[in-house]
Amino acid sequence: MREPGIVIRPLGRPGDLGWVVMAHGELYAAEFGWDATFEALVARIVADYAASHDMVREAAWIAEADGRRVGCVFCVAADEATAQLRILLVDPSARGHHLGGRLVDECVVFARQAGYARMKLWTNDPLAAARRVYLSRGFVLVTQEPHRSFGADLIGQIYELDLRPGDGCGAGTQG
């Protein structure tokens, strides 16, 4: 099987925003049985980013394999000192190429360069592959709580990463 030509580029081409919402809705319904409320959450995140993101402190990326969108990640401000990694996605057709790690690395590198002291993210317990990526980059689980969302019983998890120089986290410095 041929290795696809994978490129990670800034979000911003026509169709990127809609693709992020559609891909999340379709993928999470197919893989986890989540309902349309998850797609609605992603749509709100994407709409907020499109309407008012700070071009210096916030960014988003699209991964392409042979010119086809296959992944994304967003980095937004949670507060002055904290960046938030949001809506990481890798299409099943592009899995096995370390693309999730590459997208997270883009996000972390950007957050460090933007001057954030830490990065956080919220995820849910069924997302084991994403959790492995986060842990391999030095993120630490800081809290978890059961909740019912997206038509499923889940355990929401918050992870954090110290971005300050010399923190020892984020081997291979990521994003």
Q: What is the pLDDT of residues 40-85, one digit of tens each?
A: 999 999 999 999 999 999 999 999 999 999 999 999 999 999 999 9
- Give the other-Cβ count within 10 Å of 158's Cβ: 15
Contact residues for 34 (Cβ-Cβ < 8 A; gap 6+): 28, 150, 151, 152
Estimate to the nearest angstrom the gap between the alpha carbon of 56 and the chain centroid.
18
The CATH code of domain 6-162 reads 3.40.630.30
Residue 173: pLDDT band with limits 50, 70, 90: very low
What pLDDT is attached to residue 37? 97
Q: What are the extents of the domains in the chain?
A: 6-162
* C-alpha dihedral (154, 30, 141, 61), degrees to nearest 10: -140
